Each structure stands twice: as C-alpha cells, then as structure tokens.
C-alpha cells in the first residue's frame, strides 16, 4: 500500500533498512513523496514511534505540507510530530530549555530589519563612524560568524577593522541579552552551543530522535550540519535528501561540501539515486545532463523520462537587450494565442537589473506580468508596526519594537527625545522602556514632551491589561484599533491606504487561523504567534497571482516549474556573472544555477542573449554564454536577430498604425500607457520605423511607430 504509487528507485529509498542513506534526488524526481512515504514506512513497517522521528525541511511551507500528508496517511495529530525547519525546530528546543540556554522565558526573535536597527544603535553607542563601519556590513559579519558557530571570543581578527567588527559583535550580543531578544542566526547557534555543552540534554535528544530525515541537504550551512551531527550522535539513523547539482546558495553560506562529504562523516551510508524525471521533456533533460556533466566532484546522476523528447530548445541571438526582450514578448503573445495561458510562462534572469527592459516590453504590448518575490506579507510596514505593538506588550525589554512604535502613529515624540532615552539607557545599562520610566520619574522632559511620553506609556500599559483575558485574534484586533494604526492608515486615501487596511485586517485572520491550528502548550499564545510571524517573515514566499507572466531571478525559481521558460541574458559576464569569471568553484555554482533554470521548463525552453548590452553604464559586446556551447547542437534550434522571424512585430490591438513619414522631430504624440510626449529622434522606416519620444511622466522611450498616435 505504501509503495504502490512509487517507482523502483523511490521504493528502494522508502524501504531502505535503518541506517544512513544519501538520497540523490534529481530535479522533478518526486523527492517530497519519498520523504513522506519514508516517514510512514518507519512508523508502520519498522515500528518506529513518531516520537522518535525528527524531520527537517528548508521552508515552513514544506513543513506544513509534510505534516498535512503525514497526518492524513497515519491518522495522527500533526502536533505530536517534530517536523520543521532548522530554525523552527531550534526555536522549539530553546523555548523548552530557555533556562539552560541562558535566555529569559519571554525571549523574542528579531527579524532582519530589527536586527539592522539594533546593530546600528550599537555602532552609534560605541561612537563609531557609520561610513567606516556600515551597519549592513556589520550585520552581515555577525551573521556570517554565527553560521560558522563562532561566538565573539572565538573570532580571529585579521586587521584593525576586524578587531572593531568583533567589538561590535560583542556589544550587539550584550544588547540582545539585555533586551531579551535573539536573532535568526542565534536560534541555531544557541541550540548548537546548548547541546554541545550540556551532556545530559544532548544524550536525552540523541536517545529520543532515533531517525533523522533532512530535506534539501545541499543547502545546509556549517552550523546546520554541525547541529545535525550533534543530534545524530554515533547510533542514530540519518537519511538526507538533496541534489548536489542544485546547490546554488553558496553566497549565503550554503556548503556543497556537506552533501559531498556525508558518506565520509556517516560511514556505511548507502547512496540511492532518483533519476526518473516527471517534469520535463527528454530534450530538456538531455540538455541539462550535458550541461551539468561539465562540473567536477559531482556525486553523479543522469535524469531521464518515459515521456517524449518534445521540442528542440530555441536559442535566440538578439542585437541588443531591447531586441531580446521583444523576441521574448512576441513569443509569449504567439503561445498565448495558441496553447498556453500567461501563468504557464516564466522569464528567468541572472540579475534583477535585467527585468527593466523586459518589463517595458511587456507593458508596451499590454501583457500583464508579476515580478515574483515582491514584498512579503510579514515584511510590509503596517504589519511590522502591528507586530511591534504586540511584541512590546509581550516583552517590555524589546528595544527594537520600542523604537519602531514610540512615534508610530505620530504622537509628538521626535528623534531628539528618542536620542535622550537611548543615551540614558546606554549610561545606565537599562532597556529603553526602563530608561524612559526612570526619566519620567526624574521629570527630565518639558511638559509637552512628558505628556506625549506618558500617553505612550499609559497606552501600552492599558493595552497589556485589556488584552490579557482576550483570545489571541481578539488581542490582535484590539491592539490594531487601540494603537491608532487602523485610523492612521484609514486617513491614507486611495488604493495604497485601502491595501494597508486590508493587510491589517488579514493579521486578525492570521491570528485566528494560528489559534485554530493549535498553539503550543508550553508558551503564551501571543508569544507563539509572534515567533510564528518572525519565522514566516524569514522566507521568500509567493502570493496568489492572476493570469500573468512570471518574472524572477534564477535563484527565486528554484523549486518551481513552468510549461514554458525563457532564460534571458545567456552571455559571458552576465551569466556566468562577471564576479565569477576567474574562480573555478564560482563558475561551477553558476553552471548549477543554469541547470536549475533549464530544469524549471516542462515543455518549451527558450534561451536568449544579446550581442550588444548596456552594462555598468556603457554598451559592450559579449560572447554567448559558455553554457550554451555546452548543450549539444542537435538539441538546439537557433534563431538570429537578422532572420525575419526575429524582428519585433507590432501589436494587433487598440494602437492605430501610423503611415510612414507621419512623425517628425518636435511633434507632440500620445501613447496609451506612457501618456503625452515629444518626438526627439527618428530611426529606420517602414514597418521597422522607431520613434524616440520624451514623455513628461516616464522620461525617454524608443518605440515602434505604430504604438503612437499624433496629437
């Protein structure tokens, strides 16, 4: 029953004997199904208690999906299962053992923005020059050290700047300790240090988690691998699932070496390869295999499918990036008219900067699109404001929350007043809240400022008392209105204000849904909800979309699939990126990134490049990407811009074609999207005539003549 829907390789992975397994799961090979069925097999066949299983995923979404599938297959409550991300599971352990970890029971989690503000405040407190020691750089340094499991005293300074960075790191940790907060990197570091130093606790969890399952192992960093090895100990069975060919996050700390050395660190590990692909055509898979075979040190696998070979891969050579964009848009229009909806098509690119010219072409042809990875829900300003109120209610020591809301909505408390509070907190070693209370007792402020500050203190105190007996979603709802946030954004007229109000209302729904799904028994509901919000905000998440073309970077595309994929900008110095050109390891990661892009395509793949592209402020000719040459020629149908088929075609719509010669320099014209403008240059003639127009609202654009009408 458990094995019925699985192919032979998947079955081998699911029913593997207890021990160490490395499952090399190629793109589109059904690894999620394997992990889920493996867990069910362990419980129903191997008779392992769910209590003794730990499953680690890389996103909260994947964890939710796995819990849901396991719950339906095993008919047991998902709350009893330890399934989650490295950060989520670490948070659960720290909540259970806050005393042993040296944390306050009400500790809160800083998101990236709050961490930045905390780091910046530390730099100012140390009287350092922000230009010389930028907060962003210091934030990166701190997180990088934590990901390598290094506390401040364990970091070796390379120079004077390094010594100062360590000083900032130390002061930052002390500030977090005083405020009762930790950051995301701390979740892993503090859990690792706790298990490493506490023999009794480590033995307890090693005895409990007899079987460990880890997904997306190629994306693990140093601290995550160390965390896993501590829990695994000498005897526990570890199954990792991953694909070394899809390791593309080296820039944020992921180590491909982790999956490559797993068999050495876990002797006797069996390697199982999932090579049957259920996503792409045979031609696309042959191209992907040929491409990735150029990398060295691979664990090795060869994707195949029972499906048809399908269409050849189209490679288009454009004259410049505009020509490239027009080709992509014209093909999208053709495919839309024949067999594909817009949502089935994606345009992928190496650099975010590439999207501009593509977006302009899409707008010019009236094709709706969405840039994937826009501002996430929990990252929106109004949501962060509301959560900051909840955080200060739950924990008065939360300095970043205090700073965010003391004058939001505006209540007459300026930066100068906040600086006074900060300075007093620094001088006395108090939190900002405690420093404010002390200054008010000392009658330090003018009457006007004192009244504003007292109103703020009374507001927080009152909200704390009145929300205490309420259910979680009622607490959230009360805070939204009592804080003045709803009125504040209601005054912001138009679509933007309405959207923000709807987002705040959705926060109440989120709290209600969170309660229905079950609040952990070992922590207050508001603390649990705040932790959930912080963990959710740490991930890139997609939102619901209409029928529109998807634009995204190659890094954002991992894990997604589309019937039609356009891979734009396949040129040397763009892809592979110019910063990788002289580093063989970096080139191999770029190649893995290309492999990821190619394997997103299900039916049709277009790879395009421009012979002339403006980069870094100047136009330059670039050679086609080496990755194009690594794909066998028999798999490719090449089109060049000189061919008739490659020329941009005018849109068949509401634009009224203008006769040749109708436009002249200095003439006033109108465009449906860009509005009114003045002709400043003409280029070409006939169907190819282009008109350069300076628009009042959007600046200068070069357009095909048929898109314009004379005023």
Residues forming the annotated binding site? 25-32
Place of tokens 């277009």: 606
> Which segments are annotated as binding site for ATP?
25-32
Could you give the residue ranges of the DSSP H alpha helices within 538-651? 554-557, 584-598, 626-629
Distance CA 224, CA 246 (A): 18
**Neighbour-count burial for 601-630, b at 16+ CB within 10 Å, e otherwise:** bbbbbbbbbbbebebeeeeeebebbbbbee
Q: Taking the chain, what is the end-to-end CA distance rounded to the nearest angstrom?
A: 72
* Interior angle at CA 283, CA 280 and CA 284, nearest 5: 45
| Residue 481, helix vs strand vs coil | helix
Distance CA 496, CA 283 (A): 46
Q: What DSSP designation does 639 have?
A: E
DSSP 132-147: TS-HHHHHHHHHHHHH
| All residues at 6 or more sequence positions from 240 whose CB lies less than 8 Å from its CB, including other chains | 21, 22, 23, 213, 214, 217, 259, 262
Segment holding 121, helix H or strand E = helix 112-125
- State the Cα torsion 441-445-446-451 to the nearest 10°: -60
* Whole-Å CA distances, 449 to 435, 442, 488: 15, 13, 21
Question: How many CB atoms lie under 10 A from the CB of residue 72?
Answer: 11
Q: Contact at 8 Å (CB) between 630 and 291?
A: yes
Distance CA 190, CA 93 (A): 10
* Closest C-alpha among 659, 655, 685 to residue 670: 655
Active site residues: 31-32, 215-216, 246, 600
* Interior angle at CA 243, CA 241 and CA 248, nearest 5: 125
Segment holding 223, helix H or strand E = helix 222-232
Q: Contact at 8 Å (CB) between 587 and 295?
A: no
């Amino acid at each position: 029953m458990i094995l019925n829907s699985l192919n032979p390789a998947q079955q081998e992975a699911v029913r593997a004997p207890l021990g160490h397994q490395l499952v090399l799961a190629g793109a589109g090979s059904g690894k999620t199904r394997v992990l889920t069925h493996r867990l069910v097999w362990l419980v129903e066949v191997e008779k392992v208690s769910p209590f003794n299983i730990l499953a680690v995923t890389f996103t909260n979404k994947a964890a939710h999906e796995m819990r849901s599938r396991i719950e339906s297959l095993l008919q047991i409550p998902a709350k009893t299962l330890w399934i989650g991300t490295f950060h989520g599971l670490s948070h659960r352990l720290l909540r259970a053992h806050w005393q042993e970890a040296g944390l306050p029971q009400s500790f809160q989690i800083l998101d990236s923005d709050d961490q930045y503000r905390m780091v910046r405040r530390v730099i100012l407190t140390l009287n350092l020059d922000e230009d010389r020691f930028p907060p962003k750089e210091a934030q990166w340094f701190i997180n990088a050290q934590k990901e390598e499991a290094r506390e401040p005293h364990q970091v070796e300074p390379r120079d004077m700047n390094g010594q100062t960075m360590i000083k900032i790191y130390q002061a930052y940790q002390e500030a977090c300790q005083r405020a009762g907060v930790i950051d995301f990197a701390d979740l892993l570091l503090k859990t690792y240090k706790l298990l490493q130093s506490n023999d009794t606790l480590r033995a307890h969890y090693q005895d409990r988690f007899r079987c460990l399952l880890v997904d997306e192992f190629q994306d693990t960093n140093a601290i995550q691998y160390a965390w896993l090895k501590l829990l695994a100990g000498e005897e526990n069975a570890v199954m990792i699932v991953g694909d070394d060919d899809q390791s593309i996050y080296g820039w944020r700390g992921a180590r491909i070496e982790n999956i490559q050395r797993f068999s050495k660190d876990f002797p006797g590990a069996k390697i199982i390869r999932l090579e049957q692909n259920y996503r792409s055509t045979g031609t696309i898979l042959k191209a992907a295999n040929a491409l990735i075979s150029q990398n060295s040190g691979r664990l090795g696998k060869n994707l195949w499918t029972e499906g048809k070979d399908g269409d050849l891969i189209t490679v288009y050579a454009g004259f410049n990036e505009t020509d490239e964009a027009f080709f992509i848009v014209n093909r999208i229009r053709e495919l839309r008219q024949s067999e594909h909806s817009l949502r089935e098509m994606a345009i992928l690119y190496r650099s975010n900067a590439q999207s501009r010219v593509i977006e302009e072409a899409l707008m010019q042809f009236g094709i709706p699109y969405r840039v994937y990875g826009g501002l996430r829900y929990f990252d929106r300003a109004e949501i962060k404001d509301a959560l900051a109120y909840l955080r200060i209610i739950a924990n008065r020591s939360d300095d970043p929350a205090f700073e965010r809301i003391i004058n939001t909505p505006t209540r007459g408390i300026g930066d100068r007043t906040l600086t006074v509070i900060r300075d007093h907190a620094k001088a006395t070693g108090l939190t900002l809240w405690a420093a404010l209370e002390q200054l008010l007792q000392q009658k330090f402020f003018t009457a006007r400022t004192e009244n504003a500050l007292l109103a703020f203190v009374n507001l927080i105190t009152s909200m704390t008392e009145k929300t205490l007996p309420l259910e979680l979603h009622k607490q959230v709802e009360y805070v939204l209105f009592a804080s003045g946030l709803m009125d504040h954004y209601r005054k912001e007229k138009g679509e933007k204000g309405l959207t923000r109000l709807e987002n705040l209302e959705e926060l109440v729904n989120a709290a209600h849904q969170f309660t229905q799904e079950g609040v952990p028994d070992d922590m207050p509901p508001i603390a649990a909800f705040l932790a959930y919000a912080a963990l959710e905000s740490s991930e890139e998440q997609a939102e619901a979309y209409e029928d529109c073309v998807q634009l995204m970077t190659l890094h954002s595309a991992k894990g997604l699939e589309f019937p039609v994929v356009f891979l734009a900008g396949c040129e040397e110095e763009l892809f592979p990126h110019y910063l990788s050109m002289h580093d063989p390891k970096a080139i191999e990661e770029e190649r893995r990134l290309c492999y990821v892009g190619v394997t997103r395509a299900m039916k049709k793949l277009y790879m395009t490049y421009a012979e002339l592209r403006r980069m870094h402020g100047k136009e330059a000719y670039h050679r086609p990407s080496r990755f194009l040459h690594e794909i066998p020629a028999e798999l490719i149908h090449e089109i060049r811009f000189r061919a008739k088929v490659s020329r941009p075609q005018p849109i068949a719509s509401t634009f009224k074609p203008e006769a040749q010669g109708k436009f002249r320099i200095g003439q006033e014209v109108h465009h449906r999207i860009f509005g009114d403008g003045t002709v400043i240059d003409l280029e070409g003639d006939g169907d190819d005539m282009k008109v350069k127009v300076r628009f009042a609202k959007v600046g200068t654009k070069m357009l095909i003549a048929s898109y314009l009408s004379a005023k």
